[in-house]
Amino acid sequence: MKIKYCKRSLEQGLKPVYKSMKKKYPNIKQKKTGCLKQCKSCKSGCFVMIKSQPIIEASPEKLYKRLKKIVG
């Protein structure tokens, strides 16, 4: 599994999510990218991409909880 993060999202509050996921799940690949071409998702909330699917939540905390469920 690979989780892709937009650098803009990281700057807007997802850095703790990135670091927590890296610490808790070191075997999961995470990639920081300049732009994921998901501007609507990026503007509407916190998001990452998994298998070309945007995962969107209203806050970094909710996104982290959802990612933990997905990784499970």
pLDDT in tens, 24-48: 999 999 999 988 888 887 777 899 9
Q: How many domains does the structure of the chain reveal?
A: 1
- Mean predicted lDDT score pLDDT of the chain: 91
Residue 28 lies in domain: 2-71
**Sign of the alpha-carbon torsion through 71, 2, 67, 27:** positive
* Whole-prediction pTM: 0.88
Give the number of residues written for the chain. Answer: 72
Torsion of CA 1, 18, 22, 57, to 10 degrees: -50
